[in-house]
Chains A and B, each alone.
Chain A
């Protein structure tokens, strides 16, 4: 299978996401100005500071030409994974409910956190064990939604690094094909660099893509 990793100017974790995805399949970078998803089977919107994030995290990126294609891809049922800034962008683009707010302590935080997989039936978590150890790194990671959402990942008790509502770390859309999370699974794919738990998310996507037949229009 082939992953497409979106690269905006200011994206930082694009190559990391590509390397992680390449452990389970092919992966190529997709430039923000292009309008071609190049036939990928799943899209990753990676972490970083797209367009500098000076206005509001993810607020500019949602208007990028490539995002029109990502939105269409998602509406057709394609699998879309948004990590950190990618999660913020997917919320800004309306593909996911809710919003990410500034951390309750108002600072950037890097921390290896324990996560609980509260929904292991999604295409993104079906290969996951009940708990995962994955790092977070963000300033704007406090999830908030005024309406009920489909929670997939929660910070384990006492591990919430940002004041997120109900300890929410990751959510899917109603259709279940768009997933956003603040922790960085691409930074947990090798025991040598800390943990390999994040690889399970990429493996889950591979399994899901292998089982499904894309709707051809």
Chain B
């Protein structure tokens, strides 16, 4: 269909009834600039119009919460006057069009969210999904370039990438997922709001110049389905990242806050200046006047609407008292950051856009920010299965030994080393546990010096993990989403950390379709229930919908990122077996089944059936038991059982342990070595004395993994399979 046939509002993604509401609210037809601004603010990406009502079901309160949902990032208290801010966000659609820049700017955007609230970013994690790498050259290309983009941005800006996860499923072939999580640290006193305050105060835009990049990204890319063959035409809407500018912008912003020069601070993300400024005004219940001729531009002849919606990266907006403007400009000059006064805070809640003296747009702030209609979804459970099984990659009658080797070498379980070796995990000198050393990343909170560390006093630390498993959510959206929360908490328990807060990114298909609405609604209920079970509040997050192609929706993929606290980093748990002769115990109510498992996938089965029921009280008690065992030093190693079941979990403990050290175990009668259950079962090792009273199933030693009556394989072979699985696919 030709574009001319469309009324302009439809071209910009607004429905006829939404446009009618705008005309009614405004009392007139909107002008060009106004329509461009409204279409973005009323897009799914900015207004959450299909998810906001559901998100209210998530518990947001808790004793440690300092900043809940609504600000650029949530924050929790970790004691000693220190706050940890964190958030996960998607950059899926831009990455499907241009993976390097899409992923890079995804990292850049989430980092700005963190320093916009006054926290210094101290860690990045990422959660990635692609199609099957064995079958799809495109998926290998997307993975390679997305990983390079994440590394380019994170490494260059000096924030360590400390963890993450990657899964491959056919449903992500057309819609890869790039979710990035950032974590920052601040004294409580530096936590900053984005609410504009103080009539007469000056609005200063600082950072990169404004160009034509990303025009309309929020509505065109992030809120519509991809894949009608015109992805190449969408390329100009992808933004280009410049980590060097962001590094200076970050140092500059933190110095401005440290000096107490700012009344409020906000980053520019989706919908650029339009979104940032109107949200600042909305939160502060004030109005803003902006003169677009003051905005430093990167290219000539930009239209006013382009300036207002440009998604050029590495820009921040702040509100400054008139008397502090000179000091602000001075700090910006020190950091070589362009800063310009572009407007003022006004009393009436109107957002007015001037082109010099000419008023070219005037919109009520509530109309922009609050009045977008929120839609009720029409959830309906699908009557037929939504997803098919993939190719069969292992015979159903394969021996247990062959099965274990195939699982360890599978795309989803094999070592992530080829990926995480492209990220710097140690810059900033806090990283106590790097990838593959433990189930969660561990970062020391105090600066480590000659008096701390191994010989000094306890070193308080935080632990971070990110988890999600679309296949299990596809089997049962409610139970699968809950499992992601239990597993994330289990990962934290394995290093000895108690969860303090959670952030989530909800990646789903088109919510206007009843079965996707059902997945979304059920998954949010599952998340909410699990968060209440574990008493972990949700302090922020992000929703990415319309991840759908002509072949159907992606697997429903809620991704959860969790931050926890542990009392002493010197006792932080490890994943690998360490000492010959240590006993191995199975802890927790572990009730595995095959439905939705990695093995079911390798057998070619569709994600269907049922997930194991959960005993919430038992999960809470087990996690507590694991934390105590790790913190007391009783558990030399701790690892939660997840993809691939208990056989894979024990193999992973051996592979990542002391050189070539094996294990001999006898599984409890009837336990399926490859069945899965998430967040419930743990493999720990320690001395016989320290593990007294636990269900001891074996001993560390020898140079093979022997599961009595099931399999016996040399550790060297297991290590090789695990190390080469993903590496071979990417070669």
Contact = CB atoms under 8 A, between A and B. Distances in A.
B506 interface: no
Interface stretch (B126-134, B321-329, B419-427): B419-427
A9 B429 contact: no
Given A49-B243, A192-B448, A16 B422 contact: no
B157 interface: yes
Given A12-B158, A191-B454, A194-B434, A19 B151 contact: no
Contacts of B569: 192
A53 B158 CA distance: 13
Interface string A3-46: 00000011111011001101100000000000000000000000
A137 interface: yes
B631 to A, nearest CB: 16
Nearest to B423: A110
B303 interface: no
A63 interface: no
A48 B570 contact: no
Nearest to A11: B158
A51 interface: yes
A109 interface: yes
Contact of A193 (B152, B335, B420, B426): B426
A23 B432 contact: no
Closest A-B pairs by Cβ, 7 of them:
A12-B158, A52-B244, A190-B453, A23-B450, A192-B453, A49-B156, A137-B424
B462 to A, nearest CB: 14
B421 A52 contact: no
Interface string B435-473: 000000000100111101110000100000000000000
Nearest to A186: B429
B195 to A, nearest CB: 31
8 contacts: A12-B427, A15-B429, A16-B427, A48-B158, A54-B244, A108-B155, A110-B421, A192-B448
B454 A190 contact: yes
A51 B244 contact: yes
Nearest to A16: B429
Contacts of A135: 426
A9 B244 contact: yes
Interface in A76-117: 107-111
A111 B421 contact: yes
A135 B434 CA distance: 12
Contacts of A49: 155-156, 243-244, 247
Contacts, number: 100
Interface of A: 9-13, 15-16, 19-20, 22-23, 48-49, 51-54, 107-111, 135, 137, 184, 186-187, 190-194
A111 to B, nearest CB: 6
Given A51-B244, A52-B244, A192 B432 contact: yes
B428 to A, nearest CB: 7
B248 interface: yes
Given A12-B158, A190-B454, 18 more contacts: A9-B335, A10-B247, A11-B158, A13-B158, A16-B428, A16-B429, A52-B243, A52-B244, A52-B245, A110-B422, A135-B426, A137-B155, A187-B426, A190-B429, A190-B448, A192-B448, A193-B426, A193-B431
Contact of A12 (B245, B247, B335, B459): B247
B422 A108 contact: yes
Interface string B306-324: 0000000000000000000
Nearest to B251: A9
B578 to A, nearest CB: 15
B388 interface: no
A111 B447 CA distance: 23
A89 to B, nearest CB: 15
B432 A193 contact: yes
Interface string B397-427: 0000000000000000000000011111111
Which of A11, A184, A192 counts the most B-chain CB atoms under 10 A from its CB? Answer: A192
B452 to A, nearest CB: 8
A159 B694 CA distance: 41
